[in-house]
Amino acid sequence: MCVCQTMEVGKYGKNATRSGDRGVLLEPFIHQVGGHSSMMRYDDHTVCKPLITREQRFYESLPPEMKEFTPEYKGVVSVCFEGDSDGYINLVAYPYVENEALEQDDMPERDQPRRKHSRRSLHRSSSGTEHKEEKPGLASDSTESIQETKSPRVDLHIHSDVPFQMLDGNSGLSSEKISYNPWSLRCHKQQLSRMRSESKDRKLYKFLLLENVVHHFKLPCVLDLKMGTRQHGDDASEEKAARQMKKCEQSTSATLGVRVCGMQVYQLDTGHYLCRNKYYGRGLSIEGFRNALYQYLHNGIELRKDLFEPVLAKLRSLKAVLERQASYRFYSSSLLIIYDGKDSRAGVFVERRPEMRLKRVDSSLPENLQDGSSTEPGSSAQPKVDVRMIDFAHSTFKGFRDDPTVHDGPDMGYVFGLESLINIMEQMREENQ
Does 363 have pLDDT greater than 90? no
The pLDDT of residue 202 is 63
Which DSSP letter does residue 394 get? Answer: T
pLDDT at residue number 166: 74
pLDDT band at 124 (very low <50, low <70, confident <90, very high): very low
Question: Does 113 score more than 50 pLDDT?
Answer: no
Q: Given phi > 0 = left and psi -120 to 50 = alpha, else beta, which region is 203?
A: alpha
| pLDDT confidence tier of residue 90, bands split at 50, 70 and 90 | confident
pLDDT value for 380: 61
Rounded CA-CA distance 212/198 in Å is 28
Amino acid 6: pLDDT = 29
The answer to whether 24 and 16 are in contact (CB under 8 A) is yes
**pLDDT tens column, 257-304:** 999 999 999 999 999 999 999 999 999 999 999 999 999 999 999 999
Please say whether the dihedral angle defined by the alpha carbons of residues 35, 285, 339 and 321, taken in this order, is positive or negative: positive
pLDDT of residue 243: 94
Give the mean pLDDT of 87-111. Answer: 64
Residue 130 confidence class, pLDDT cut points 50, 70, 90 = very low
Higher pLDDT, 76 or 164: 76
The per-residue pLDDT for 126 is 35
Question: How many CA atoms within 13 Å lie on the side-chain side of 41?
Answer: 24
Strand, helix or coil at 149?
coil
Q: Is the pLDDT of residue 218 over 60?
A: yes
Residue-wise pLDDT for 157-209, tens only, equals: 556 778 787 775 444 455 466 777 888 888 888 888 887 777 666 678 999 99
Percentage of the chain exceeding pLDDT 90: 56
| Cβ contact 389:283 at 8 Å | no
Three-state DSSP at 250 gives coil
Model pLDDT for residues 380-433, shown as the tens digit of each residue: 678 999 999 999 999 999 999 999 999 999 999 999 999 999 999 999 999 998
Which of 261, 266, 333, 257 is CA-nearest to residue 295?
Answer: 266
20-42 average pLDDT score: 88
Share in percent of the chain as helix, strand, coil (round to 5): 30, 25, 45
pLDDT for 81 equals: 82
Q: Is the pLDDT of residue 21 over 70?
A: no
Residue 170: the pLDDT is: 41
Q: Greatest CA span in the chain, whole angstroms?
A: 67
- pLDDT higher than threshold 80 for residue 217: yes
Residue pair 43/14 in contact by the 8 Å Cβ criterion: yes
Residue of 372 and 196 predicted with greater confidence? 196
Question: Of 164 and 124, which is predicted with more confidence?
Answer: 164
Q: Which contacts of 361-365 are long-range, i.e. CB under 8 A and separated by 24 or more positions?
A: 361/268, 361/271, 363/271, 364/162, 364/268, 364/270, 364/271, 364/272, 365/162, 365/271
> How much of the chain exceeds pLDDT 70, in percent?
69
Which residues fall within 8 angstroms of residue 309, CB to CB, at 6 or more apart?
429
Q: How many CB atoms lie within 10 A of CB 63?
A: 13
The pLDDT of residue 18 is 60
| pTM as predicted | 0.79
Confidence of residue 19 (pLDDT cuts 50, 70, 90): low
Give the model's pLDDT for residue 401.
Answer: 94
pLDDT score of 20: 52
Average pLDDT, the chain: 78
Q: Measured between alpha carbons, how far is 182 from 151 in angstroms, rounded to an integer?
A: 16
Alpha-carbon distance of 211 to 48, in angstroms, equals 8
pLDDT band at 239 (very low <50, low <70, confident <90, very high): very high
Q: 38, 416, 426, 429: which is closest to 225 by C-alpha?
A: 416
Reported as a pLDDT band with limits 50, 70 and 90, residue 10 is: very low
